[in-house]
């Protein structure tokens, strides 16, 4: 990246360390030392646009606390997740085949489910869930299923709402029959059809903020988000989520994430890897299993 070429290696390392310290202090974000490549690819556009003289100057500007909008933009750029449809497959299979059938049995009277994607990014995760619901719709007449997608990045959410994806993006995780059934082709891009897009509502939200407006949920997807927080912030986020979770609800974490060492009432689901449930619900499930 040309914006960084003028800086020596030692200077780049110093700037990166200063950025990491800043992000941790201001947003609770943990940026691992091996993520320097992300800084270059994600902050170069901002540095170029603002005509800033390299990363070291950007960090100096941030530390002056005089540019809140720029600061927010840097935080957003550093937290945009890599995402694709049905990422890792297993959590979506678990949702479709195990968690949803149980919740559908438990909610037979209310006929209502609420699902929250806590890091919706550009929409692939909530829309993957919407596609599962679309496929199950004929077995759920009269049901209302709300899918809420939240994210820290307004730019990502704007893309999510549009539901417009490149050829490369739709080929990651979607089958060709799904592409034909649920997308319209617009030149070289692919847009999710209105009936799928309308299943998801998006809201701009910081997970360190207040969840009061969101309501309660039966399922929460919080995958590959906690990795950005330190242990105290992870516990804080999980405890706030737990307060919005139904007694028999489930929280999905990323493949490499766990609650080991965290102060939380959530425990791993006795049967399904990567799924958390309340302590009390886990006991019920274990008794049923026995």
Partner 1 sequence: MMNALVVDDSAVIRKITRRILENLSFHVDEAADGVEASRVCYEDMPDIIFLDWNMPEMNGLEFLKDLRNMPFGGEPKVIFVTTENDIARIRCAIEAGADEYIMKPFNEHIIREKLAQIGLPVD
Residues at the site binding partner 1, with contacts judged by CB under 8 A? 89, 167-168, 171-173, 175-177, 179-180, 185, 188
C-beta closer to partner 1: residue 24 or 96: 96
178 three-class SS: helix
Q: Closest approach of Cβ 68 to partner 1, in Å?
A: 38
> Which one, 17 or 169, has the nearer CB to partner 1?
169
CA–CA distance, 231 with 27 (Å, rounded to integer): 13
Q: How far is the CB of 167 from partner 1 (least distance, A)?
A: 5
- C-beta closer to partner 1: residue 37 or 168: 168
CA 207, CA 233: separation in Å to the nearest integer? 10
- Parallel, antiparallel or unpaired: strands 164-166 and 144-151: unpaired
With residue 252 as reference, give the H or E element that holds it.
strand 245-253
Shortest distance (Å) from residue 4 CB to partner 1: 26
Nearer to partner 1, 183 or 202 (CB): 183
Q: At closest approach, how far in Å is the CB of 190 from partner 1?
A: 9
Please, which residue, 89 or 204, has the CB nearer to partner 1? 89
Least distance (Å) between residue 221 CB and partner 1: 20
Q: How would you label 237-251 residue by residue, b for 16+ Cβ within 10 Å and e otherwise?
A: bbeebbebbbebbbb
CA 20 to chain CA mean position, Å: 21
Residue 21 or 180 with smaller CB distance to partner 1: 180
Distances (CA, A) of 72 to 12, 41, 60, 94: 22, 17, 15, 35
HSE-CB at 229 with a 13 A cutoff on CA atoms is: 20
User: Least distance from C-beta 197 to partner 1, angstroms?
Assistant: 18
The answer to whether the beta carbons of residues 132 and 100 sit under 8 Å apart is: yes
């Amino acid at each position: 990246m040309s914006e960084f070429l003028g800086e020596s290696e030692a200077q780049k390392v110093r700037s990166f360390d200063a950025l990491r310290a800043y992000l941790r202090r201001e947003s609770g974000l943990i940026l691992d030392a091996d993520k320097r490549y992300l800084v270059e690819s994600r902050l170069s556009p901002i540095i170029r646009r603002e005509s800033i003289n390299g990363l070291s100057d950007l960090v100096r500007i941030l530390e002056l606390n005089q540019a809140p909008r720029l600061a927010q933009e840097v935080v957003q750029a550093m937290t945009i997740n890599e995402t694709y449809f049905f990422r890792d497959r297993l959590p979506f299979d678990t949702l479709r085949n195990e968690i949803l059938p149980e919740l559908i049995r438990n909610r037979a009277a209310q006929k209502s489910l609420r699902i929250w994607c806590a890091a919706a990014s550009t929409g692939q995760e909530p829309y993957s869930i919407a596609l599962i619901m679309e496929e199950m719709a004929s077995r759920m007449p009269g049901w209302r299923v709300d899918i809420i997608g939240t994210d820290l990045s307004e730019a990502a959410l704007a893309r999510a709402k549009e539901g417009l994806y490149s050829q490369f993006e739709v080929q990651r995780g979607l089958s060709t029959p799904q592409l034909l059934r649920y997308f319209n082709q617009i030149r070289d891009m692919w847009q999710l059809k209105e009936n799928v897009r309308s299943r998801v509502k998006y809201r701009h939200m910081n997970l360190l903020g207040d969840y009061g407006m969101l309501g309660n949920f039966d399922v929460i997807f919080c995958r590959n988000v906690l990795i950005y927080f330190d242990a105290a912030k992870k516990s804080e986020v999980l405890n706030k989520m737990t307060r919005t979770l139904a007694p028999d609800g489930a929280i999905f974490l990323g493949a490499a994430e766990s609650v080991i060492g965290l102060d939380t009432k959530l425990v791993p689901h006795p049967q399904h890897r990567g799924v958390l449930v309340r302590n009390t619900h886990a006991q019920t499930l274990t008794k049923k299993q026995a």
